[in-house]
Amino acid sequence: MKYSEGFNPHPYLSVALPLPVGCGSLCELMDVELDSAGEVGYMAGAINDSLPSGLEIMEAYAPETKLSAMSWAQLNGLLFYDGGRHPAPSTEMLERLFGGDSIVVAKKTKRGDVDIDIATLIRDVEFKPGVSQPVIAGMAANAGITMKVRISVKEPAVTQAMLQSALGAGTGELAPDFAVFTRVEVFDGDMNVFR
């Protein structure tokens, strides 16, 4: 890796789209500047040998696009209701909420909360009854809903917290008691997988 010069050298690297605590990911991207223009394919294996358990570099490659071209991210969510003891609300109710012309949520900023309409910043929302990975012991099979959604990662970006806030809007009956989100893929503005 290429390092800065001076008294405290540091590597030239940047991590794209850092996630909040509690949000998993199958597609984290890190941009690293190398000190020579050699083959980068060997890097994944070399670095994996020193990573902690649970982290793995899947691939190293020369970038095809600048990080600024990232526009959308695919999130998969598991929404759990009433501690997993009772059935979740119908998927039709959730589809109506996310299919509306307006979804106003509060966005936290340095100057306080600001209302933002995220309806145009969300695409391809899909809800299915049940969850594939129960994470609460004794959970009923129909106590959860699987959510798949593509969200904008450009300013103003949609966050996991905003999605949960949207679910809690109105009567609150659609608000899950517990939710787990995982980033699955990142796309450019034309919805091509980002590389």
Q: How confident is the model over 163-172, as pLDDT tens digits?
A: 888 888 655 6
CATH number of residue 111's parent domain: 3.30.70
Model confidence at 117: pLDDT above 60: yes
Dihedral sign for Cα atoms in the order 181, 182, 187, 193: negative
Is position 32 within any domain? Answer: no
Is position 180 within any domain? Answer: yes
Is position 13 within any domain? Answer: no
Partners of 141 in the beta sheet?
none
Mean pLDDT of 37-42: 68
pLDDT value of residue 89: 76
Is position 50 within any domain? Answer: no
3-state SS of 108-135? EECCEEEEEECHHHEEEEEEEEECCCCC
Dihedral sign for Cα atoms in the order 2, 193, 130, 176: positive
- In tens, the pLDDT along 64-115 reads 888 889 999 999 988 887 755 556 778 888 898 888 899 999 888 888 888 9
Is position 52 within any domain? Answer: no
As a whole number of angstroms, the distance between CA 5 and CA 2 comes to 10
Is position 132 within any domain? Answer: yes
Q: What is the amino acid identity at position 181? A: F
If you count them, how many residues does the chain have? 195
Is position 154 within any domain? Answer: yes
Dihedral sign for Cα atoms in the order 195, 160, 95, 166: negative
- Which structural domain range is residue 108 located in? 69-188
Q: How many domains does the chain have?
A: 1
Q: Which two tokens stand for residue 6?
A: 């001076």
pLDDT value of residue 121: 94
Is position 56 within any domain? Answer: no
